[in-house]
């Protein structure tokens, strides 16, 4: 089996669901790619709000994922921001494992 990094699981948006369903059930992959596989423990969003880009409106972490059609675009735009990534670890998928550069 070829070794790949954790980000391979989500690199191709058309194959993300298939890859996560196939590989994240494997203990080794789930352990090395906790954030990508959604297997983080003790990972919650903090209470509070952040300011939306280009709008003077504040939202909670739940806003990032409450609309399935917009969730990926919202996470792509906001989870790269330190304030949002730190506050919204569960919603952004940035739980306990910050560096998933290990090969699986």
Tens digits of residue pLDDT in 11-69:
888 999 999 999 989 988 888 887 788 776 667 788 899 999 988 899 999 999 988 88
Q: CA-to-CA distance for 90 and 85, rounded, in angstroms?
A: 9
**pLDDT category of residue 10 using cuts at 50, 70 and 90:** confident
Instruction: Determine the pLDDT at residue 78.
Output: 95
Instruction: Determine the pLDDT at residue 98.
Output: 45
The residue with greater pLDDT, 17 or 104, is: 17
Instruction: Determine the pLDDT at residue 36.
Output: 82
C-alpha 80 chain-centroid distance: 11
Instruction: Determine the pLDDT at residue 75.
Output: 93
**Helices marked H in the chain:** 8-11, 16-23, 27-32, 34-37, 62-65, 71-78, 82-87, 89-92
């Amino acid at each position: 089996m070829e070794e790949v990094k954790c980000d391979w699981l989500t690199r191709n948006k058309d194959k993300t669901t298939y890859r996560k369903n196939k590989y994240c059930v494997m203990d080794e992959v789930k352990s090395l790619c906790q954030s990508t596989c959604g297997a983080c423990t003790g990972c919650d969003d903090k209470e509070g709000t952040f300011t939306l880009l280009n709008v003077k409106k504040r939202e909670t972490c739940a806003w990032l994922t409450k609309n399935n059609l917009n969730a990926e675009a919202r996470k792509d735009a906001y989870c790269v921001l330190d304030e949002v990534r730190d506050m919204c670890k569960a919603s952004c998928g940035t739980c306990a494992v910050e560096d998933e550069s290990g090969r699986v």
